[in-house]
Amino acid sequence: MAGFSELIKNFDKTRDYVRDFFIYGCKVRSDFDRKSIRTYGDEKRRVESWIGDYMRYDDSVRGRSVSISVDSGHIPENPLYNAYYSKSFTDNDIRLHFLITDILQDGKSRTLKEIVDVLNTDYGMLFDEQTVRNKLREYVDEGIIISEKQGKALYYSLTSDNADSFLQDFKGLDDALKFFSETQQFGIVGNSISKILGLKNDLFFIKHNYIIHTLEDILLPEILAAMDEERYVSFRTFSEKRRKKGSVPETENQVIPMQLLVSVQTGRRYLAAYIPTLKRFSAFRLDYMKTVKKGKICENYDALKAKFDRNISHCFGVSFGMRREIGTVTPMKITFFVDEEKEQYILDRLEREKRCCTLEKSDENLYTLTADVFDPNELMHWAKTFIGRIVRIEGGADSVRERFYSDIARMNRMYGGDEDEHIQ
């Protein structure tokens, strides 16, 4: 595989592959029909190199199937962070990184010319001023170097904030780093601090850990900045479903970002935003988003945000449904059977999981949940975790209730009713 490099330039492409390997868990080369065979081979090799022990192969009739199977509740470090640690660079990038920081370590400020001279005289490295200036500018932006104007000249010095002194000065920071490095969001940034300090997480495991989310963190700084600056954002969304249907897999969106919605149960994260062309709020999956860019200022941001804050309280999950206004659908009422004497834990469950709904006792051993939510479908996904206890469903949309009844009938047949056809 001539020309293979472990390092990557384009994060989006890699994100695509890792996601497919990781989520579908069952892909063969021919499934990646949109990519060349060479690209597939290179990406697979890279992911193998990063993920090492977690890659799993299965021989199938269509070729070797590749998947990433990670018991992510029992790992000390998210292996997908390696994607971030694989950025390609030039020889000059690494030379200048170590040499400039070495020169400035004595605490003195220097001009560009002085730095270029020292590079030549003390290290025997010839660089033109423009190359060094660009690197200095980049490092000023990263906060590694501070620039200060003295008279007409710009002086550069090294930041005094270093990881060792932080660790020494702030007791408990090491344990905090170990924990927060593995939690959302931007755990990767904490992990990068742990790495320079040589700290390894030997204390914490994270249950219900969706490690794939780290790949979406790449999009967040631009979205967060747009929220802070009350700007529009534009991005492309791609959909596997649309691709399979043969329609254009990517669409361009321009929206006003409101909040990032995180589901800790379904493994999905969304950007909740206002779509001006449709005059409604909607939620966009982060894992389907690419190339986010801040746009123009939104003049009525505060008013939209206030409206959003009112509306979000009627979302059971992330869906704003198809209703234009709240109240056009009757609130949904679901009545559960709970043996009050023996099943306090069921009541506890209802209480802690009911989100924006209200729960009240409606009769002996009967509890009714009232949900005034935009999208009753989201509610029903959760309500099905109480299968065996749902006594009555009222209100909401007819189609949602009918679907529940037919689902139960289908499941009853699937599991055999009185005779289980699948159990021999």
Partner 1 sequence: MNIFSEIYGTYFRIAARLLENEVTDEKTVSETVRREGFRDSVLFLPRKLIPNGEDWGLFSRTPDGDLKRITKNAPVKTLTKLQKMWLKSKLSDPRIRLFMDDETLSALEKRLADTPPLYRREQFRITDRFTDSDDFFNEQYIKNFRTALEAVKHRKIVYIEFVSGHGNRVNGKFVLLKMEYSPKNGKFRAYCYLLRNDRVKSSGIINIGRITNIADTGRIFRTPVSIDDYFSSRKCSSPAVIRVTTARNGVERFMLEFASYEKHTVRDLETGEYTVELWYDRQDETELLIRLLSFGPVIEILAPQHLRRQAKQRIKRQAELLQQLR
Q: Which of residues 200-239 bind partner 1 (CB under 8 A)?
A: 203-212, 217-218, 220-221, 224, 227
What does the per-residue mask of binding to partner 1 show for 49-88, with x meaning CB under 8 A?
xx-x---x-x-xxx--x-x-xxxxxx-------x-xxxxx
391 binds partner 1 (CB under 8 A): yes
| CB environment 74-94: b (16+ within 10 A), e (fewer) | ebebbbbbbbbebeeeeeeee
Shortest gap between Cβ of 129 and partner 1 (angstroms)?
A: 20
Number of chain positions touching partner 1 (CB under 8 A) = 146
Instruction: Tell which residue, 45, 43, 47, 52, has the closest CA to residue 75.
Output: 52
Shortest gap between Cβ of 323 and partner 1 (angstroms)?
A: 18
What does the per-residue mask of binding to partner 1 show for 118-157, with x meaning CB under 8 A?
----xxxx---------------xxxx-------------
Instruction: Tell which residue, 395, 248, 260, 273, has the closest CA to residue 335.
Output: 395
> CA 376, CA 314: separation in Å to the nearest integer?
10
117 binds partner 1 (CB under 8 A): no
293 binds partner 1 (CB under 8 A): no
- The amino acid at residue 280 is R
With residue 153 as reference, give the H or E element that holds it: strand 153-158
DSSP state, residue 258: E
Q: Please answer whether residues 64 and 57 qualify as being in contact, where contact means their C-beta atoms are separated by less than 8 angstroms.
A: yes
When the beta carbons of 209 and 368 are compared against partner 1, the nearer one is 209
Of the residues 2, 299, 352, 364, which one makes contact with partner 1 according to CB under 8 A: 352
Of the residues 37, 306, 322, 414, which one makes contact with partner 1 according to CB under 8 A: 414
Instruction: Tell which residue, 146, 65, 39, 57, has the closest CA to residue 101.
Output: 146
What does the per-residue mask of binding to partner 1 show for 309-348, with x meaning CB under 8 A?
---x--x-xx------------------x-------x--x
Neighbours of 185 (CB within 10 A): 15
Q: Which of residues 245-274 bind partner 1 (CB under 8 A)?
A: 259-268, 272
Choices 6-14, 35-43, 289-297, 321-329; region in contact with partner 1 by CB under 8 A: 6-14
When the beta carbons of 35 and 354 are compared against partner 1, the nearer one is 354
Instruction: Tell which residue, 238, 258, 242, has the closest CA to residue 250.
Output: 238
The helix/strand/coil state of 245 is helix
When the beta carbons of 58 and 117 are compared against partner 1, the nearer one is 58
Q: Which of residues 169-188 bind partner 1 (CB under 8 A)?
A: 169-173, 175-176, 179-180, 183-186, 188
Shortest gap between Cβ of 63 and partner 1 (angstroms)?
A: 11
Shortest gap between Cβ of 311 and partner 1 (angstroms)?
A: 12
When the beta carbons of 153 and 412 are compared against partner 1, the nearer one is 412
Of the residues 108, 381, 399, 421, which one makes contact with partner 1 according to CB under 8 A: 381
> CA 249, CA 242: separation in Å to the nearest integer?
5
Instruction: Tell which residue, 227, 218, 184, 242, has the closest CA to residue 292.
Output: 218
> CA 254, CA 235: separation in Å to the nearest integer?
7
Query: In 3-93, at which residue ranges do the beta strands (DSSP E only) sit?
Result: 27-28, 55-60, 63-68
The helix/strand/coil state of 320 is coil
When the beta carbons of 99 and 329 are compared against partner 1, the nearer one is 99
When the beta carbons of 212 and 329 are compared against partner 1, the nearer one is 212
The helix/strand/coil state of 75 is coil
363 binds partner 1 (CB under 8 A): no
Choices 32-40, 247-255, 326-334, 411-419; region in contact with partner 1 by CB under 8 A: 411-419
382 binds partner 1 (CB under 8 A): yes
The helix/strand/coil state of 55 is strand
Q: Which of residues 82-101 bind partner 1 (CB under 8 A)?
A: 82, 84-89, 91, 93-95, 97-99, 101
Instruction: Tell which residue, 139, 98, 144, 137, has the closest CA to residue 119.
Output: 98
